[in-house]
């Protein structure tokens, strides 16, 4: 049997296979609210054959959005906008639906990537980003506002409030975004965090606020539903956050009840030098899994079925998450199942698409009309 297509349990949630549609920013919301683009995007990829679809980085505050087009879950309007989309997914798909909760920190108020991705000045409709310290992401940019005690409490409470809204929407699991140079990663990395209080300096201090946020989300979300965390395992910059610190962070998260670690990298500095290649981040997931025993998700240029199968079968990670490969092939899970001898869910309207050489791919061997 294919290792990729064996079930996995995360607390009270059982996934049919080890494939996740990774959270992918769409930069297409209006005032944080999902719309017809999200309806199409989410419903399509919920039928990819993956065991779980994770909704894109979803801001817990309006000022925590990366761009004005980023999705949010911070008021009644943003919550209501997601409700019909999720209702449609539940009618047509058996995939679990998770959500990545996020705050952009000093990388907020940016243009969409296809509009250049640079900081939006206040005079052009931007807003003043916040961060752990008054250090801009890019040299020459205005510095962010350093979060004070009241600001830290506000952000922490916003994560908890968003987790409660996610529960009302019926979300199956939450991933706390602590990677890619966004706020929680900024607290972890000495590149972005130069604080001299209890939230800066030593590793224990730099971990403090991300752990507080994780605890707030965990306390606000039902105990039987899983909460994981995405982390950048290295900044790819000399003197920055690295894998040994990540492992210590993961060990502490384990004591706090984390259900998985999604092992990514980079994002905190434009000076990063990333050695891109197929599966280039898989060793991070493997190292965390071996050091801590935690469930890990491997990400990063995983594109082929046999590649994903080897990662899981060899114990390098427990799951894989695919992003660009899923956009390019929205039925990636079907094709992987056909290649590896697995089985996926598909609605009966699509059963006739199965080639005659792929028996029981959808768990149904006959389909006919009179």
Phi, psi (rounded to 5 degrees) for 122: -55, -40
- C-alpha span between 296 and 320 (Å, rounded): 9
- C-alpha span between 109 and 112 (Å, rounded): 9
Sign of dihedral through CA atoms 126, 192, 174, 314? positive
**Token pair belonging to 191:** 């590149």
- Told to judge if 182 belongs to the known catalytic residues of this protein, a careful annotator would answer yes
Choose among 284, 286, 334, 326: nearest CA to 302: 326
**Cβ 56 vs Cβ 47: under 8 Å:** no
Residue located via tokens 């199968």 = 309
- C-alpha span between 56 and 96 (Å, rounded): 14
- C-alpha span between 72 and 58 (Å, rounded): 5
CB atoms within 10 A of CB 75: 15
**Cβ 284 vs Cβ 243: under 8 Å:** yes
- C-alpha span between 58 and 32 (Å, rounded): 8
Which one is catalytic: 182, 199, 280, 328?
A: 182
Q: Cite the active site residues.
A: 182
């Amino acid at each position: 049997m294919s290792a990729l297509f064996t079930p996995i349990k995360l607390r009270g949630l059982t996934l049919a296979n080890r494939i996740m549609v990774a959270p992918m920013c769409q930069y297409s919301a209006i005032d944080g609210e999902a719309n017809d683009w999200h309806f199409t995007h989410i419903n399509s990829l919920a039928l990819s054959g993956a065991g779980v679809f994770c909704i894109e980085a979803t801001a817990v505050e309006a000022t925590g959005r990366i761009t004005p087009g980023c999705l949010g879950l911070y008021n009644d309007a943003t919550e209501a906008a997601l409700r019909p989309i999720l209702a449609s997914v539940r009618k047509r798909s058996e995939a679990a639906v998770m959500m990545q909760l996020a705050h952009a920190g000093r990388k907020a108020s940016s243009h969409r990537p296809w509009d250049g991705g640079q900081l939006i000045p206040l005079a052009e409709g931007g807003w003043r980003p916040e961060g752990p310290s008054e250090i801009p992401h890019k040299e020459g940019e205005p510095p962010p506002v350093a979060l004070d005690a009241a600001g830290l409490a506000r952000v922490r409470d916003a994560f908890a409030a968003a987790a409660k809204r996610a529960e009302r929407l019926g979300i199956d699991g939450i991933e706390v975004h602590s990677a890619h140079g966004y706020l929680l990663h900024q607290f972890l990395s000495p590149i972005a965090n130069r604080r001299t209080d209890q939230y800066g300096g030593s590793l224990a201090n730099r971990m403090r606020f991300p752990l507080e946020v994780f605890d707030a989300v965990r306390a606000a979300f039902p105990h039987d539903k899983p909460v994981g965390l995405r982390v950048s395992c290295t900044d790819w910059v000399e003197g920055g956050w690295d894998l040994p610190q990540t492992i210590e962070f993961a060990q502490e998260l384990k004591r706090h009840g984390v259900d998985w670690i999604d092992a990514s990298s980079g994002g905190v500095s434009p000076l990063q030098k990333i050695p891109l290649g197929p599966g280039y981040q898989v060793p991070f997931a493997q190292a965390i899994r071996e050091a801590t025993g935690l469930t890990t998700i491997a990400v990063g240029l995983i594109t082929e079925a046999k590649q994903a199968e080897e990662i899981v079968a060899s114990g390098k990670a427990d799951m894989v998450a695919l992003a660009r490969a899923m956009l390019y092939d929205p039925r990636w899970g079907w094709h992987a199942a056909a290649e590896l001898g697995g089985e996926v869910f598909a609605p009966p309207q699509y059963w006739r698409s199965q080639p005659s050489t792929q028996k029981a791919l959808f768990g149904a061997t006959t389909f006919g009309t009179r």
